[in-house]
Structure 1
Amino acid sequence: MEQLVEWMNENTLATNILKYVFWVVLILLIISVLRKFIKKSLPDNSIRYKSQKGIEIIGYIIIIFLSVSYFTGNVKDFTLAIGLLSAGIAITLQELFLSIAGSFYIFFVKVYKPGDRIEINGIKGDVIDIDSIYTTMMEIGQWVSSDNYSGRIVKLSNSFVFKGAIYNYSKDFPFVWDEFNLPIRYGSDVELAKSIVVRICSEVLSEYVSESKAKWREVVNKYYIEDAQVEPSLAITMTDNWIQFNIRYIVDYKKRRFTKHVLHEKIGKAILETNDKVILASATFEIVKIPQINIEEEHKEASNK
């Protein structure tokens, strides 16, 4: 025992390193225990997730302060060694450091948060976790049409927040504009068709319109942006084949596909009930003239031979 104490007194650098490792391991164990306790105790997913992340961040901050107190001004040789190694580490682990910096940027600037639907680096999905290095998303699209989950979980480096555009579907304004075209045959009752489309859109989209108006006012007050129309709008275009109705409307970003399905179903059913006063158009081809082939004359020439 005396030899151990004597060795520790003679090797202050090694002693400080051992103490530092001990405290770091102890703090990490406490974080792990608290995270498990919170996971079992809190039933609400949102509160549980935020509490776990809060404890993790507090633990990392304590480790940073502990590192500063141990290795700033107390151990000269160790500080010198750290200074020499830092340049090489910064080069070899620059992507890691950039990811850690990205996590702080995401947290403090609130670029996105768990639950947001984003598109970053060409990947679209719902954010399900953000840690110190990676953003984890449930992927949307790819081989699956529309806004459905593909089933793949994607881990993306946080460094990508510094490398390109980030599309957030839910921050500040959780609505998107969508549209579709409706071809109406020439000779149909256009006024009746317009009334059907306007009536059904107003019925189906009334909830989204009222909610989006309040949210859009907040966006206008926060950003330098002009006011926009959130009510459904109808534009008519005369084409070579039909009268084209373009219906544009606002919808919850998570219900875009379902809402379009409801609109198509209700409008299609209402048009069928007009007893052919309104008819949906389709692409048709008219054959003007078939070239004549004189088969009889060719047959006579063949017989004479």
Structure 2
Amino acid sequence: MDIKDNQALSAPAPGIATPSRAAHTWFISSYTFLALGCIVFYFILRLDILSLEKRYTTMFAKISLTGFFVFLVLVLSKLAEKLIDKNTHSLSVRYNMVRVVWLVTILLIFFILVSFFNSNWYTAAVSLGLISLILGFALQTPIASLIGWLYIVIRSPYKVGDRIQLSDFTGDVVEIGYLDTTLWEFAGNYMTNDLPSGRLIRFPNSLVFQGQVYNYSWNKFPYIWNEIPFHVAYESDLGYIEQAVRRIAKEEMGNEMEARVKELRQMIEQTPVDELEIREYPFVQFRTNANTWVEVLLIYLVEPKLSGSVRSRLIKRVLQELGKEPDKAMFPKTNAR
């Protein structure tokens, strides 16, 4: 099976749903209708058609004008989301851009509400300054997490859909909120392979400032090196084993992976790293074991999310192939294995 076939088997990570354009249109129409209703009601009050008392006219006029600007901001927000949905093909980039739009929308609505319901700008500014100072001391961790979210969006140490390791947490990123990140855990305490454990991990975004982020889904080269050890006896035909293992690995991984290795060579040539040399792919190495066998290492490239299934297929095929030539591929016959 070719790597391209395997890519079709990997479902998109939960939490990266494509927004419905029909839903965007419905929201835009609804907010536009409400905004027009507010501004029409505002002019009706200004023309004194309802003949209300002045204090009620002033209060309702302020409320209707505030509602008009709030709904106008919501219309612009939904238009921005629709444009992002239409012109952005990367799900992770779209996710981050929509989050930024939401944050700007919330801040604008808050500013409009404060502006219209507090006629004294100086008093409003002093009040906001005092509130911000108090909240700054009381909410240091959430504020640090919000700054962490900005860092994640701008510097992109990881994005939705990436497989990462941060501190003791390992998993696929399914959501990046303003204050925390959610992972769909793989391996973990109850699993010894790369399959999802079924648990969700939620940690504050401020952790990106406190440790290393290991990203296994780098967009320029979304593969990792993996190895499988096989134990054979000293009397085995190591040349035959090397050829057989490499041939099976090539058949399983397909020609696309060999092209990826060439890309990796080119990437390394563009860096100051000159000690690393990538030769024939896949690699088969031998090393002696402290017991009574030789260890055959098959080293290959694989997508992180497919490493478990690829490893299982390779082990089965290699053992079946070596078992056809028991005189050339002899396995240690000892209980110490």
TM-score (norm 2): 0.67
Work out whether residues 20 and 67 of structure 1, in 8 Å CA contact, stay in contact via their aligned partners in 2.
no
Whole-angstrom distance in 1 between the partners of 2:297 and 2:269: 26
Shift of 1:21: 7.4
Counterpart in 2 of 1:146? 193
Query: In the alignment, which of 266, 278, 286 is matched to residue 236 of structure 1?
Result: 286
Whole-angstrom distance in 2 between the partners of 1:176 and 1:52: 25
Whole-angstrom distance in 2 between the partners of 1:176 and 1:169: 7
2:298 aligned with 1:250: no
Counterpart in 1 of 2:321? 270
Query: In the alignment, which of 79, 98, 109 is matched to residue 144 of structure 2?
Result: 98
Query: In the alignment, which of 204, 224, 229 is matched to residue 176 of structure 1?
Result: 224
Counterpart in 2 of 1:294? none
Q: Deviations over 1:189-218 (max 9, x none)?
A: 232222222322233334323224215534
Q: Which has the higher contact order (CA 8 A, sep 6+)?
A: 2
Work out whether residues 201 and 232 of structure 1, in 8 Å CA contact, stay in contact via their aligned partners in 2.
yes
Work out whether residues 96 and 153 of structure 2, in 8 Å CA contact, stay in contact via their aligned partners in 1.
no
Whole-angstrom distance in 2 between the partners of 1:235 and 1:122: 31
Query: In the alignment, which of 160, 165, 170 is matched to residue 207 of structure 2?
Result: 160
Work out whether residues 164 and 173 of structure 2, in 8 Å CA contact, stay in contact via their aligned partners in 1.
yes
Counterpart in 2 of 1:11? none
Aligned pairs, number: 273
Whole-angstrom distance in 2 between the partners of 1:46 and 1:121: 31
Whole-angstrom distance in 1 between the partners of 2:78 and 2:272: 47
Counterpart in 2 of 1:196? 244
Work out whether residues 77 and 102 of structure 2, in 8 Å CA contact, stay in contact via their aligned partners in 1.
no
Whole-angstrom distance in 2 between the partners of 1:180 and 1:52: 37
Q: Give the match's secondary structure for 1:241.
A: coil
Identify unmatched segments of 5+ residues in structure 1. 9-14, 286-305
Whole-angstrom distance in 2 between the partners of 1:20 and 1:168: 48
Shift of 1:277: 2.9
Residue type matched to 1:179 in 2? E
In structure 2, the CA distance between the partners of 1:49 and 1:25, relative to structure 1 (3 Å rule), is: farther
Work out whether residues 135 and 156 of structure 1, in 8 Å CA contact, stay in contact via their aligned partners in 2.
yes
Counterpart in 1 of 2:178? 132
Q: Deviations over 1:77-114 (max 9, x none)?
A: 22222222322211211111111111111111121111
In structure 2, the CA distance between the partners of 1:220 and 1:146, relative to structure 1 (3 Å rule), is: farther
Counterpart in 2 of 1:214? 263
Work out whether residues 24 and 63 of structure 1, in 8 Å CA contact, stay in contact via their aligned partners in 2.
no
Counterpart in 2 of 1:260? 311
Q: Give the match's secondary structure for 1:144.
A: coil
Work out whether residues 118 and 127 of structure 1, in 8 Å CA contact, stay in contact via their aligned partners in 2.
yes
Work out whether residues 141 and 147 of structure 1, in 8 Å CA contact, stay in contact via their aligned partners in 2.
yes
Q: Deviations over 1:119-177 (max 9, x none)?
A: 11311111122222222221111112311111122222211111111010011321111
Q: Give the match's secondary structure for 1:181.
A: strand
Whole-angstrom distance in 1 between the partners of 2:58 and 2:235: 104
Whole-angstrom distance in 1 between the partners of 2:178 and 2:104: 12
Identity %: 23
TM-score (norm 1): 0.73
Whole-angstrom distance in 2 between the partners of 1:165 and 1:225: 22
Query: In the alignment, which of 276, 283, 288 is matched to residue 334 of structure 2?
Result: 283
2:165 aligned with 1:116: no
Counterpart in 1 of 2:24? none
In structure 2, the CA distance between the partners of 1:258 and 1:282, relative to structure 1 (3 Å rule), is: farther
1:12-31 alignment runs, 5 A limit: 22=67, 26=71, 30=75
Q: Give the match's secondary structure for 2:329.
A: coil
Shift of 1:273: 0.8
In structure 2, the CA distance between the partners of 1:220 and 1:151, relative to structure 1 (3 Å rule), is: farther
Work out whether residues 92 and 161 of structure 2, in 8 Å CA contact, stay in contact via their aligned partners in 1.
no
Residue type matched to 2:309 in 1? F
Q: Give the match's secondary structure for 1:137.
A: strand
